C-alpha cells in the first residue's frame, strides 16, 4: 500500500518513479524529471525526424545500425524497438502508465500497453520533464503508423500488396471473409483454410469486369450533393497528402477519448453510484465540467483548421477517368477503386448458371463522410470539393 501511494504521489508531481527512461533521455538527480541525455539525444532526435518525415521503421533501424548506433539494450535496432520508442509517452515528455486489469480477488494483471498517465483529480496528462518530441508530434507518428499497418495475431505487419485487382476488396457473402486469387478465381480465404465457411468463388475476369464497369459508370454520374463525392474527396486528399489530415485525425481521436471518459464518469455517478454525498457530487461536477470544457475546446480547434480543397475533375470526367484507368497498372487501379468502394460482397452462384454481377455482387460504396454529416449535422466538411468549370456546367 505504501509503495502504491508513493508511486501515485510521484506521478502527480511529475517525477520519474523508476526504470530506464526512453532512449535519448535521462533522469535529473535533483528534480527527478527527464532531461536530454547529451550522449544519445542527437540520435533520438534523428529517429524522430526520420519518423516524422514518413520513413519506414525498418529504414530508421537500418540507418542506426549502419552507423553503429547501439540500441538502449546494447544490441542492434529493429522496427519493433524503434516503434516502441516513438510511441512511448515519456519520449514526448508525458508521465507513462502501464495499463492493467483488476481481477475479482483484487490482483492486478499488467499488459504491455503503456499510455499517458492522467491525474485522477484533473484528468490532465502530467509532464515528466523534457521530451524528444512534442505531444502533437507523437500523435502524428502514431497516426502514420496506424495508417500503414494492421493488427494480426497480436503482432503488427505491413500491408501486403496483392497482384489481383480486387485483392482486399472482394468479400465472401456468406461469412464476410476476404477473397483472394486461387488460380483463375477469387475464393473465400476462410473456406480455403478450413474454417467452416461454405465458401464462395467467382472467376477473376468476370468479377473484375463487373466492378470496373460499375466504378467507371458511377463516378461520372455523381451529383454535387451525393455523399459519395465527399467520401472520395476525403480519401483523395488523405492519399495524396496524408499530413494534411494528421492534425485533424489527432484532434478527432482526442475528442473521442474525452467523450469516452465523460461517458464513464456519468456512468460512475448515475449507474454505479460511486459519487455519494455533497463533496463527492461537487468533485463529479468539477471533473465533468473540465471534460465538457476540453471537448468544446477540441471541437473549436477542429473547426478552426483550414479546409483543404481537392479537384476531382480527373475522377469525375468520364473520358479522363477511362484514360487514366487504361494507363494504370493493377496497383494503381486498385487504389482508385478504394477511393470510392469499401468492399464488394459476392454471393454463392448456382452450378451451370452464367455469372450475373447485378445478382451476385453487392458493392459497398464509400459513405463515411456522408454518414458523419448525417449523424453530426454541425460537423464541418473535411474537404472542399473543386470541379473544373466546364465539367460543372456540362453536368449540373
Domain locations along the chain = 2-157, 162-241+309-395, 244-304
Average pLDDT, whole number, for the chain?
A: 81
- Cell 472482394, located at residue: 170
pLDDT reported for residue 384: 56
Residue 187 vs residue 18, higher pLDDT = 187
Q: What pLDDT is attached to residue 311?
A: 74
Most confident of the following: 108-112, 269-273, 277-281, 338-342 = 338-342
Residues in Cβ contact with 129 at an 8 Å cutoff, skipping those fewer than 6 apart:
14, 16, 25, 28, 31, 33, 34, 35, 93
Mean pLDDT of the region 20-26: 93
pLDDT band at 225 (very low <50, low <70, confident <90, very high): confident
**115 has a pLDDT exceeding 80:** yes
- The whole-number average pLDDT for the span 33-62 is 91
Overall average pLDDT of the 133-151 stretch:
77
Using the predicted structure, report yes or no on whether residue 137 has a pLDDT greater than 50. yes
pLDDT at 154 over 50: no
CATH architecture of 2-157: Alpha-Beta Complex (3.90)
How many other CB atoms sit within 10 Å of the CB of residue 253? 15
Q: What length does the chain have?
A: 396
Distance CA 94, CA 143 (A): 18
pLDDT at 260 over 50: yes
Is it the case that residue 313 has pLDDT exceeding 90?
no
Q: Check whether 391 has a pLDDT greater than 70.
A: no
Distance (Å, rounded) from C-alpha 396 to C-alpha 393? 5
Cell of 222: 455523381
Amino acid at each position: 500500500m505504501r509503495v502504491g501511494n508513493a508511486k501515485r504521489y510521484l506521478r502527480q508531481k511529475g517525477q520519474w518513479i523508476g526504470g530506464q527512461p526512453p532512449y535519448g533521455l535521462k533522469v535529473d538527480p535533483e528534480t527527478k524529471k527527464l532531461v536530454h541525455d547529451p550522449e544519445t539525444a542527437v540520435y533520438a532526435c534523428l529517429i524522430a525526424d526520420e519518423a516524422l518525415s514518413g520513413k519506414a521503421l525498418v529504414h530508421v533501424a537500418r540507418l542506426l545500425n549502419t552507423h553503429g548506433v547501439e540500441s538502449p539494450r546494447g544490441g542492434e535496432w529493429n522496427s519493433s524497438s524503434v516503434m516502441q520508442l516513438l510511441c512511448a509517452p515519456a519520449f514526448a515528455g508525458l508521465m507513462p502508465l502501464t495499463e492493467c486489469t483488476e481481477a475479482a480477488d483484487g490482483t492486478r494483471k499488467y499488459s504491455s500497453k503503456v499510455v499517458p498517465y492522467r491525474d485522477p483529480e484533473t484528468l490532465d496528462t502530467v509532464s515528466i520533464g523534457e521530451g524528444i518530441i512534442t505531444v502533437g508530434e507523437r500523435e502524428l507518428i502514431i497516426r502514420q503508423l496506424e495508417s500503414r499497418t494492421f493488427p494480426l495475431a497480436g503482432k503488427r505487419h505491413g500491408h501486403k500488396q496483392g497482384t489481383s485487382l480486387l485483392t482486399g476488396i472482394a468479400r465472401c457473402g456468406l461469412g464476410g471473409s476476404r477473397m483472394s486469387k486461387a488460380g483463375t478465381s477469387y475464393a473465400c480465404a476462410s473456406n480455403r483454410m478450413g474454417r467452416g465457411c461454405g465458401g464462395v468463388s467467382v472467376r477473376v475476369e468476370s468479377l473484375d469486369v463487373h466492378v470496373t464497369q460499375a466504378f467507371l459508370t458511377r463516378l461520372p454520374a455523381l451529383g454535387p450533393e451525393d455523399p459519395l463525392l465527399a467520401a472520395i474527396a476525403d480519401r483523395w486528399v488523405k492519399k495524396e497528402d496524408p499530413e494534411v489530415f494528421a492534425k485533424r485525425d489527432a484532434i478527432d481521436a482526442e475528442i473521442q477519448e474525452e467523450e469516452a471518459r465523460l461517458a464513464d464518469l456519468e456512468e460512475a455517478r448515475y449507474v454505479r453510484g460511486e459519487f455519494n454525498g455533497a463533496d463527492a457530487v461537487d468533485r463529479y461536477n468539477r471533473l465533468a465540467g473540465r471534460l465538457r470544457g476540453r471537448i468544446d475546446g477540441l471541437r473549436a480547434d477542429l473547426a478552426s483548421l483550414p479546409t483543404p480543397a481537392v479537384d476531382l475533375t480527373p475522377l469525375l470526367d468520364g473520358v479522363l477517368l477511362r484514360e487514366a484507368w487504361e494507363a494504370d497498372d493493377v496497383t494503381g487501379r486498385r487504389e482508385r477503386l478504394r477511393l470510392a468502394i469499401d468492399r464488394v460482397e459476392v454471393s454463392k452462384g448456382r452450378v451451370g448458371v452464367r455469372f450475373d454481377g447485378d445478382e451476385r455482387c453487392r458493392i459497398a460504396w464509400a459513405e463515411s463522410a456522408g454518414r458523419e454529416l448525417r449523424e453530426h449535422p454541425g460537423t464541418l466538411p473535411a474537404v472542399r470539393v473543386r470541379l473544373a468549370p466546364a465539367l460543372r456546367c456540362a453536368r449540373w
